[in-house]
């Protein structure tokens, strides 16, 4: 049998890699998807986006029931959680979608190759060899290679995860709900787990090194989140520098400096949520011309690295947010380019952010500060959910929609939502930015009533000082 030469070999089956594989198959490319783990789906499906959102749904339902008397639900005082069922439900969702991915690979004629993939150097005669460790085959050959090896949780120096010191992996499968949890880091991962475990009854404390939570978001969004978290009883320190994490008989003690004094707090567990490191070591990059900046791979607009025939997508790429949807679209761009079909480069300013804590955050485009830095004269429209009728119906009044628009031409430069369903609502804003919509145009688009999305309409009108509902 002649040796198979694939059109494309993709290393890593997270959302970046599996999306690239499916689209490559759809485009008629002979495709191999190499995965070291027993299951397809990567961080996102197994220990990231999907299981966290499953737990957040439980948390939301539980919160509603706890406040049930207002909704006319009776006998809710003694409501409690069955942790086993919650964990099984979460795992069931993950397993269902992992199976779905296997089906999609078969459907699109993608060969799934088990093992650890490594680059071996430049192509020879236009053909790359990818070494496979721990699999049935020792190597495969491909005309083009896409690297999508993803990321791992960063750890504080000298520490490793165990039963008390947790990363996103351990915190998802705890044997029981901890009585207390310290969360170090208030990015999306940190505030989501803080939200989940607070709703489940834990005493939660956030330690953030920077002056505000969710530091990549608009400052007013951070302020609102901190206000609501305080109201929910989630303790927090900003400008907090963690000095040590020590294990005790029953948990951990974290020593940190905040407000210019050294402080100590104890808890049953600590979650380290200080960001994610790209998985670019030990994959053979050093044998190629691929440029790496602090571990992240540099690419051009089509996701090509500096080594001919090798692309990089997903969490390992420099300058892109480490988000599933960003990696997935990068995968589509890469393989469409490989197939020689026309494709639009990704506009990094149009990648939405979504944080599923309570209240949710959805954002796209420039923050007010970034727009000012870029030299724009601004007109801001802001509308609070307190004045939105659907927010009253769903009993969730926290937050607002904020539209940042250019004063001269009216173009919408950024939208920042904190409040109910913000992660769903943000889709309209992404479309608005993509279509270079002005605030005036948005203010003339009919939004169904009563919807949370009407807050967008009111915020667009607020840009001109004429919102209907405030
Ligand atoms: C707790 C948490 C919640 C999150 N929630 C969200 C969210 O709600 N929305 C969102 O957009 N993003 C979210 N993210 C981020 C999201 O999970 C990542 O952006 C996404 O998984 C990155 O996709 P990827 O394909 O680049 O890498 P990964 O998902 O990390 O997948 C990489 C894959 O490559 C495999 N691999 C690595 N090296 C090799 C090798 N040498 N050979 C073979 N296989 C290899 C790995 O086993 C893995 O399967 C969350 C992350 C965390 C930790």
How many angstroms is it from 34 CA to the middle of ligand 1?
14
Nearest CA residue ID for atom 19, ligand 1: 323
pLDDT attached to residue 1: 66
pLDDT attached to residue 19: 98
Q: Residue 417: which of 437, 432, 406 has the closest Cα?
A: 432
Between strands 31-35 and 241-247, the pairing is unpaired
How many angstroms is it from 406 CA to the middle of ligand 1?
36
Within 6 A (CB) of ligand 1 lie: 11-17, 34-37, 42-44, 48-49, 52, 116-117, 148-151, 168, 189, 279, 283, 314-315, 322-325, 327, 354, 356
Nearest CA residue ID for atom 2, ligand 1: 48
Report the nearest atom of ligand 1 relative to the CA of 53.
8
Catalytic-residue membership of 128: no
**The model's pTM:** 0.97
How many angstroms is it from 307 CA to the middle of ligand 1?
23
User: What's the average pLDDT block by block, 10 residues per block, for the chain (470 residues)?
Assistant: 91 98 98 98 98 98 92 90 98 98 98 98 98 95 98 96 97 97 98 98 98 98 98 98 95 96 97 98 98 98 98 98 98 98 96 98 98 98 98 96 97 98 98 97 98 98 97
Cis peptide before 359 (omega within 30 of 0): yes
Q: Could you tell me which residues come within 8 angstroms of residue 468 by beta carbon, excluding any fewer than 6 positions away?
A: 457, 458, 461
Which residue among 97, 128, 358, 449 is the active-site one? 449
Report the SS3 class of residue 190: helix
- Token representation of residue 203: 């005493």
Q: What is the CA radius of gyration of the chain?
A: 24
Report the nearest atom of ligand 1 relative to the CA of 355.
8
């Amino acid at each position: 049998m002649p040796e198979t030469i694939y059109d494309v070999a993709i290393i890593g089956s997270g959302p970046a890699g599996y999306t690239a594989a499916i689209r490559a198959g759809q485009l008629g490319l002979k495709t191999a998807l190499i995965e070291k783990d027993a299951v397809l789906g990567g961080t996102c499906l197994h220990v990231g986006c999907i299981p966290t959102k499953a737990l957040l749904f439980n948390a939301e339902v539980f919160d509603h029931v706890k406040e049930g008397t207002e909704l006319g639900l009776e006998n809710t005082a003694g409501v409690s959680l069955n942790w086993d069922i919650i964990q099984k439900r979460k795992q069931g969702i993950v397993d269902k979608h992992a199976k779905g991915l296997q089906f999609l690979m078969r459907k699109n004629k993608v060969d799934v190759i088990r093992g650890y993939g490594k680059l071996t150097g430049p192509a020879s005669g236009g053909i790359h060899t990818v070494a496979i460790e721990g699999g049935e085959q020792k190597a495969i050959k491909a005309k083009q290679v896409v690297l999508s090896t993803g990321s791992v949780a960063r750890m504080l120096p000298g520490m490793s995860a165990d039963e008390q010191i947790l990363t996103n992996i351990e915190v998802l499968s705890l044997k029981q709900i901890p009585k207390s949890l310290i969360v170090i880091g208030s990015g999306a991962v940190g505030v989501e787990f803080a939200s989940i475990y607070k709703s489940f009854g834990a005493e939660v404390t956030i330690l953030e090194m920077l002056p505000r939570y969710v530091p990549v978001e608009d400052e007013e969004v951070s302020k609102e989140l901190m206000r609501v978290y305080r109201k929910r009883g989630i303790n927090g320190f900003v400008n907090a520098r963690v000095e040590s994490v020590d294990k005790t008989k029953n948990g951990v003690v974290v020593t940190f400096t905040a407000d210019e004094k050294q402080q100590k707090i104890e808890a049953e567990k600590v979650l380290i949520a200080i960001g994610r490191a790209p998985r670019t070591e030990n994959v053979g990059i050093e044998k190629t011309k691929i440029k790496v900046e602090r571990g992240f791979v540099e690419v051009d607009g089509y996701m090509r690295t500096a080594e001919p025939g090798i692309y990089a997508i997903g969490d390992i790429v420099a300058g892109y947010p480490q988000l599933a949807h960003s990696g997935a679209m990068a995968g589509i761009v890469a393989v469409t380019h490989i197939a020689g079909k026309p494709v639009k480069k990704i506009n990094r300013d149009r990648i939405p952010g979504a944080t599923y804590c309570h209240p949710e955050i959805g954002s796209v485009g420039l923050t007010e500060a970034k727009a000012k830095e870029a030299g724009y004269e601004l007109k801001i429209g802001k509308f609070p959910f307190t004045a939105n009728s659907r927010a009253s119906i769903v009993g969730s009044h926290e937050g607002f929609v904020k539209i940042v628009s250019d004063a001269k031409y009216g173009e919408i430069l950024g939208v920042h939502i904190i409040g109910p369903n913000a992660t769903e609502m943000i889709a309209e804003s992404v479309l608005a930015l993509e279509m270079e919509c002005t605030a005036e145009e948005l203010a003339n688009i009919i939004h169904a009533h009563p919807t949370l999305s009407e807050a967008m309409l009111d915020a667009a009108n607020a840009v001109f000082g004429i919102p209907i509902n405030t």
